[in-house]
Structure 1
């Protein structure tokens, strides 16, 4: 039975999602940030006769995120999606989103590797953090100037606003290194919640690559997030970047699939490690 949840379901919903905190990073963050009583967000649950949750579907504006520990009731959840004329994207673990194909028409699909870091065993704890600083709102313009120099990045029109919001709400942080007055490297987190965080925007100035600066920022960021008891995760589609992440202890946990019904620019942030 599909029911629309409210605050009274919060404990059961979070208990179900916490089994895979990295894969459910966006769902958990949206629930913690916006709850159950907003016009732009809704959460449905597939509930068995015993009252146990067997699947979740979250809508954030026109974006839908499904999750289940195995088979999901894709047919029933698809009825909700197909009634929404503002539906823009269905995203989630590939094994889950694939179950929607018989019921929801996808015009375009993008897939990326999804990796998770659970401990700091392989992170370089001996590196000096003297030159690594945590960004404040006054640093946003410098961060955006650096990101615009990275050809691998797809900078969205709302990227600056999203960065400012993350810093203000503490749902994201950025660590950076400066050379005199110029920002030369940074790494950011986004969608931080009580259980997990996503690493994005890892980069170095084109003139400062191959010096390990981006890795220093990323390792410091990961160490601090892990110390708070959270899992760290990221997307990547570049095998070279993947090999670097794995040396730091990241492990592939599946593919993340973004499925679009109409042509438009992806809303997902690109994650590229540039040493």
Structure 2
């Protein structure tokens, strides 16, 4: 049986998703931010013998399913197909795969990326080195955005001063930077979608001509150390296996693939 979820179902929801905070970062964050009654989102659950076994979140036009077992793919597909206008589906690949052939829309864009998580840094961080790292201040937002836009791999990325302000105000993200001896901002690393249990690492980059000097790693070490000390599980997306090796040396482990599909 599939039905709409409400605040009375919260304990059941967290029993299903709470022990995998990295895998369910977006669902947990949206529930904490908007609850079960906001117009901006809806949640449905599949129950078997009165136990919640699968969940489907709609945040605006984006749908995210989660289950640890076979679920009612036809039922979830029917909910998604009844939506009007543009829509997106995202989630762990093994959950999305059975849904794909049932969505009656033309695919506009499909992207799959590696998904990794971390619960502890795999080596002892040299605290003295971290003195080179500083928390990004409001007066530095534009400099940071300009630096990130100068990095070829981030071409087309969604970086803005407004987003930096919003994340700081909402406490859903933070950024650490390194400047060299000449005062140039040479690297940064950020978190986003922070919630009480998890956070996503994004925007790890080094200004062109300053690569391979350990600057981005320093930012990562500071950011991840702080988030882990707060009891958060960390996760990130990556496309480049070489970049993945850097993250794995720090303690990230692949969860699998994350699929994102945009439909007309």
TM over 0.5: yes
- The alpha-carbon deviation at position 53 of structure 1 amounts to 0.6
Contact 1:123-1:249 within 8 A present in 2 as well: no
Out of 240, 243, 248, which is 1:241 matched to? Answer: 243
Could you tell me whether the CA contact under 8 Å between 1:67 and 1:92 is conserved in 2?
yes
Aligned-CA RMSD value: 1.6
Structure 2 CA distance for aligned equivalents of residues 63 and 220 of structure 1: 32
Q: Distance in 2 between matches of 1:111 and 1:131?
A: 35
Aligned to 1:77: 76
Q: Which runs of 5+ in 1 are unaligned?
A: 263-275
2:203 matched to which residue of 1?
201
Q: Where do residues 19-38 of structure 1 align in structure 2 (5 Å cutoff)?
A: 19-38=19-38
User: Which residue is 1:113 aligned to?
Assistant: 114
Residue equivalent to 2:66? 67
Aligned residue runs from structure 1 range 1-275, under 5 A: 1-49=1-49, 51-105=50-104, 107=107, 108-122=109-123, 124-156=125-157, 159-179=160-180, 180-262=182-264
User: 1:32: how far off?
Assistant: 0.7
How far is 1:201 from its partner? 0.2
Indicate if the aligned counterparts of 2:77 and 2:99 stay in contact, CA closer than 8 A: yes
Give the corresponding residue for 1:269. none
Q: Is contact 1:116-1:233 (8 Å) kept?
A: yes
Residues 128-174 of structure 1, C-alpha deviations (whole Å, 9 max, x = no match): 22121112333221210111111101445674433321111111110
Residue 33 (structure 1) shift: 1.1
Does the CA-based 8 Å contact 1:63-1:87 persist in structure 2?
no
**Residue deviations 1:63-90, cap 9 Å, x none?**
0100001212111011111111134210
Distance 1:125 1:73, change over 3 A: farther
Aligned-partner SS, 1:208: coil
CA distance in structure 1 between the aligned counterparts of 2:121 and 2:202, rounded to whole angstroms: 18
Query: 1:81, 1:87 within 8 Å by CA — same for their partners in 2?
Result: no
Q: Give the TM-score, by structure 2 length.
A: 0.93
